């Protein structure tokens, strides 16, 4: 089932059902997609406004940069659910003989790595436009600063949720180098996401004074 082909109400209903997918990983990817879309919207709402003529070129560049991010993150909604299914199927493999046990163990490890890599890719992609959200809140159309703020909230949710889903898989992966490297990178990205939300919140508070 292509989750992104569902209507919004059916997607929400599928999430609320007793099935494990779509789950937190898919929702994190969706939040990332919405963050990028909102950020792009703020840039486009700034372009062409006389009041913001001095940042016109910057906003055009940001809009162009952000445009591919949302559809890429939307694809991860499906990829995360597919990754979960691969792990589930790997654990169902037979384990009666030594050969079967070895094959099952290797397959599980590969599936777990993939299941960690998918949400990690979501966090990495969102990380590429965190600074842009701050720039949009600071220099973009101030009538849309609340949209930039929501973009920062969605971005943080995407990063924190994606990293949590990656970590739950890392806990069962035996490749220590793979695990340690991903954990180090995620810590940096999580810090960036927290700082982005904090900075945009401060800009919003100032705008509302």
At 64-73, the pLDDT tens digits run 999 999 999 9
Could you count the other beta carbons within 10 Å of the beta carbon of residue 43?
28
Quick check: is 65 in a domain?
Answer: yes
Please write the tens of the pLDDT for every residue from 8-20.
999 999 999 989 9
CA angle 27, 141, 47 (to 5 degrees): 95
**Closest to 168 in 3D by CA, of 51, 80, 78:** 80
Res 1 pLDDT > 70:
no
Local confidence band at 121 (pLDDT 50, 70, 90 cut-offs): very high
Please write the tens of the pLDDT for every residue from 149-167.
999 999 999 999 999 999 9
Cβ atoms of residues 27 and 101 within 8 Å = no
**Closest to 38 in 3D by CA, of 121, 118, 206, 158:** 158
Number of domains into which the chain is organized: 1
Quick check: is 183 in a domain?
Answer: yes
Quick check: is 2 in a domain?
Answer: no
**Closest to 193 in 3D by CA, of 43, 35, 23, 1:** 35
Domain that holds residue 82: 21-207
For residues 52 and 54, what is the distance between their CA atoms, to the nearest angstrom? 5
- Cis peptide bond prior to 127, omega within 30° of 0: no
Quick check: is 3 in a domain?
Answer: no
CATH number at residue 189: 1.20.120.680
pTM, 2 dp: 0.95
């Amino acid at each position: 089932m292509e989750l992104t082909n569902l209507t919004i109400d059916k997607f929400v209903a599928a999430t609320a059902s007793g099935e494990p997918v779509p789950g937190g990983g898919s929702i994190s990817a969706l939040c990332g997609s919405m963050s990028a879309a909102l950020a792009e919207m703020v840039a486009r709402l700034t372009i062409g406004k006389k009041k913001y003529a001095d940042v016109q070129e910057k906003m055009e560049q940001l809009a162009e940069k952000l445009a591919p991010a949302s559809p890429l993150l939307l694809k991860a909604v499906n990829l995360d659910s597919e990754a979960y299914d691969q792990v589930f199927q790997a654990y169902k493999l037979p384990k009666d003989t030594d050969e079967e046990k070895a094959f099952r163990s290797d397959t599980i490890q590969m599936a777990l790595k993939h299941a960690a890599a998918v949400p990690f890719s979501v966090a990495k992609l969102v990380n590429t436009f965190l600074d842009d959200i701050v720039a949009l809140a600071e220099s973009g159309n101030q009538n849309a600063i609340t949209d930039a703020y929501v973009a920062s909230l969605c971005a943080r949710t995407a990063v924190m949720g994606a990293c949590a889903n990656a970590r739950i898989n890392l806990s069962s992966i035996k490749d220590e180098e793979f695990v340690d490297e991903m954990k180090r990178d995620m810590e940096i990205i999580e810090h960036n996401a927290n700082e982005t939300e904090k900075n945009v919140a401060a800009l919003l508070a100032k705008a509302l004074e």
